[in-house]
Amino acid sequence: MFKLIAKDKEARTGILKTAHKEVETPFFMPVATKTAVKYLDPRDLEEIGINAIISNAFVLSLRPGLKTIKKAKGIHNFMNYKGAIFTDSGGFQKIKDSFYIKSSDKGIQLKSPFDGKKVILTPKLCMKIQNTLSSDVAMVIDEMPLPNQTRKEVELAVERTHKWAKECLKHHKNKKQLIFGIAQGGLFPDLREKSAKFISSLKFDGVAFGGLAIGEPEQKTYKMINSQVKHFPENKVRYLMGVGSPRQLINAIAAGADCFDSTFPTQNARHATLFTSKGKLQIKNSKYQNDLNPIDKNCDCYVCKNYTRSHIRHLLKMKEANGLRYATYHNIYFINNLMKQVRAAIKQGRFNKLRKEFLKKYK
Amino acid sequence: MFKLIAKDKEARTGILKTAHKEVETPFFMPVATKTAVKYLDPRDLEEIGINAIISNAFVLSLRPGLKTIKKAKGIHNFMNYKGAIFTDSGGFQKIKDSFYIKSSDKGIQLKSPFDGKKVILTPKLCMKIQNTLSSDVAMVIDEMPLPNQTRKEVELAVERTHKWAKECLKHHKNKKQLIFGIAQGGLFPDLREKSAKFISSLKFDGVAFGGLAIGEPEQKTYKMINSQVKHFPENKVRYLMGVGSPRQLINAIAAGADCFDSTFPTQNARHATLFTSKGKLQIKNSKYQNDLNPIDKNCDCYVCKNYTRSHIRHLLKMKEANGLRYATYHNIYFINNLMKQVRAAIKQGRFNKLRKEFLKKYK
């Protein structure tokens, strides 16, 4: 459950209690779709100070399959991670052609990218999967409207999302597991409001902004957050799904969001874009060829304490696994450290100053 | 330099003193061609107990280039590894079509796989590169005969190898760096003997068996080792290049070899073949799907202490980097631990018993 500790205007800090870990908010979750954050093992995550990650329930139900994870007594044991684990329902797979077939009132019809097998992901099945995985936080299945859908289509998606939210609550049986609702509404502020109010009225342990940061202009994202956040209860944690760029994180926290996940920092790392206290750094740039400085002089991470820009640049240019590992490690450390600084600033009433300074480097 | 500590029949244990590390023999070196052992960083290597690795001088002279490594004051600083670093000359690139053009008395003409640039790798250039890299041990450039070459061709290769060996000694200028000679001779025992005698007569710090384990029948490999080893001096370390399978390692140690390198354990790991105290284990086999045991119950490595067969199998099937990392870590730990056991057994005069037991599992 969530305990609010301090507010600085709309920005909040608090503690989310889960079965495996108490996690201070705001926090960012690296993505471990298949029970692994790419290039970081659980020991790395612990060393970095990551207290929560998110996996994908539907993908895990296909591979390794529920039987295997049940045999290991849940996802924590299976992968040997001691922090909090969220599981996304799989509804987000809608944006991937390799998974999505069609939606109906019953659920979302998906196909396995491994063997083509078709499955209708209903609220009941979605809860059964997550109850079995025994993640700390289960996400409901929702009908996410795609960016260019009409108002009529988005209205239908909101109706389905609400119907499924109620059904998920009914079928949620794992008492150690929290369950979060997801509000939708596309890019229509009134539908966003309506959905926020409805989801807030149900007995969820946390609430989420769904279907954002999927290609819409960034100002629209903040507008949609603002139209929903005021209808979300103060005493529930607010999860903005799919956001992980440094700028969007700090702006969303300013708007009142508490928790985040995204492949953005890890994907950027693999594409040699590194986050530093002075802004983004394109490590493959030839000016770093003989640069013996760490990625970021102001960073205390294992990578910055041990390896130079020159070495990391070489490894990434050579596509060496160690280069991908160092880059990923640093970017996740940077985002996690940003969250730490943000929490301290909120407690001390200087969040907006921190944000203003930070945005100079991340326009 | 090398200090012999104990012998058990032909098997030896001793200490090789290098500028950065004293390394107990017999030892195995993981391959770090481009300054990185695939999926293991220097901290992992230290944790495993690896005291020496081998990199590739010619490849490093192309990327990142000597200027970059010189700027970092040598390869140790560049990659931040504190153990001993051997560098191979690049002569072995002969077996790779992406590198090799032709050989002449002057040297080996190679092309860069990065930009097609042609380079004649002469003994002088080969030494200049390795002197600049400042590795602990430089290897001479040699002319390695290919497996199906005629006696005439192999005789020519041996002549060139000997000529280049003398030239390498002449051009070797880095006083902190050891230099090892390489004996060739194809699959002709008398040429092998001749080459061993000649290389032993020069002022090298160590001697190597070259051009073995490149496709010839395994019994031929041992026959060639036997024909050379008796002509190698007792007080010089003996390096069998390119050997890394558990069986070949233990048999070569029995024949009197002291040090080894190979991509065999790391490549096997990436292909999901894991070494255990009970023999090889094909982790992708479906019988391991729900197996909650470690890779090897008798192994104390980080991976065996933390992750199950079930989890590692899943990660490898999903091509996740963490799976490749765990498999690589375990295989290198296994080989390193085998070397430890071998050293203790030689000191205690029970090496042949250990070898006999071991070969039951690795036929």
Number of other residues whose CB lies within 10 A of the CB of residue A280:
14
pLDDT tens, residue by residue, B12-40: 999 999 999 999 999 999 999 999 999 99
Task: Determine if the peptide bond prior to A113 is cis (ω within 30°).
Answer: no
Active site residue B291: no
CA B152 – CA A139 distance, rounded (Å): 73
Question: Under a CB-based contact definition with an 8 Å cutoff, are residues B176 and B130 in contact?
Answer: no
Complete edge-to-edge strand list for the sheet that includes strand A27-29: A27-29, A259-261, A237-240, A206-209, A178-183, A137-139, A84-88, A52-56
pLDDT tens, residue by residue, B225-282: 999 999 999 999 999 999 999 999 999 999 999 999 999 999 999 999 999 999 999 9
Task: Determine if the peptide bond prior to B189 is cis (ω within 30°).
Answer: no
The active-site residue out of B44, B205, B258, B261 is B261
Measured on CA atoms in the order A38, A43, A49, A50, is the torsion positive or negative? positive
Answer whether A71 sits within 8 Å of B307, measured CB to CB: no
Distance in Å, alpha carbon of A214 to nearest chain B alpha carbon: 25
One-letter amino acid for residue B148 of the chain: N
pLDDT band at residue B11 under the 50/70/90 scheme: very high
Distance in Å, alpha carbon of B320 to nearest chain A alpha carbon: 7
The strand pairing partners of B103, in sequence order, are: B108
Distance in Å, alpha carbon of B300 to nearest chain A alpha carbon: 16
Which pLDDT value is given to residue A116? 95
**Average pLDDT score over residue span A212-218:** 95
DSSP, collapsed to helix, strand or coil, labels residue A135 as coil
**Average pLDDT score over residue span A181-190:** 98
Which of A23, A18, A50 is CA-nearest to residue A37? A50
Query: Quick check: B146 pLDDT over 90?
Result: no
> Percent of chain B beyond pLDDT 70?
100
Mode of pairing for the β-strands spanning A206-209 and A178-183:
parallel
**Average pLDDT score over residue span A290-294:** 98
Burial label, A34 (beta-carbon count in 10 A; 0-12, 13-18, 19+): buried
Query: Quick check: B93 pLDDT over 90?
Result: no
Question: Under a CB-based contact definition with an 8 Å cutoff, are residues A257 and A239 in contact?
Answer: yes
Beta-sheet strands, E only, within chain A: 2-8, 11-17, 22-25, 27-29, 52-56, 84-88, 100-103, 108-111, 118-121, 137-139, 178-183, 206-209, 237-240, 259-261, 273-276, 279-282
Complete edge-to-edge strand list for the sheet that includes strand B237-241: B27-29, B259-261, B237-241, B206-209, B178-183, B137-139, B84-88, B52-56
Query: Quick check: A94 pLDDT over 90?
Result: no
Number of other residues whose CB lies within 10 A of the CB of residue A208:
28
**Two tokens, residue A179:** 């369950």
Q: Alpha carbon of B210 to those of A108, A238, A275, A331: distances in Å?
A: 62, 64, 46, 44
Helix or strand (DSSP H, E) at A351: helix A351-361
Q: Which of B34, B70, B301, B330 to mutate to test the interface with A (most CBs of A within 10 A)?
A: B34
Which pLDDT value is given to residue B19? 98
CA B327 – CA B7 distance, rounded (Å): 33
Complete edge-to-edge strand list for the sheet that includes strand B118-121: B100-103, B108-111, B118-121
pLDDT tens, residue by residue, A297-344: 999 999 999 999 999 999 999 999 999 999 999 999 999 999 999 999
Closest residue in chain A to residue B288, using alpha carbons only: A68
**Average pLDDT score over residue span A258-277:** 98
Which pLDDT value is given to residue A213? 95
Query: ipTM surpassing 0.85, yes or no?
Result: yes
Answer whether A311 sits within 8 Å of B80, measured CB to CB: yes
Active site residue B136: no
Query: Quick check: B340 pLDDT over 90?
Result: yes
One-letter amino acid for residue B67 of the chain: K
pLDDT band at residue B99 under the 50/70/90 scheme: very high
List chain A residues with CB under 8 Å of B72.
290, 292, 308, 310-311
Mode of pairing for the β-strands spanning A279-282 and A273-276:
antiparallel
pLDDT tens, residue by residue, B104-137: 999 999 999 999 999 999 999 999 999 999 999 9
Answer whether B320 sits within 8 Å of A290, measured CB to CB: no
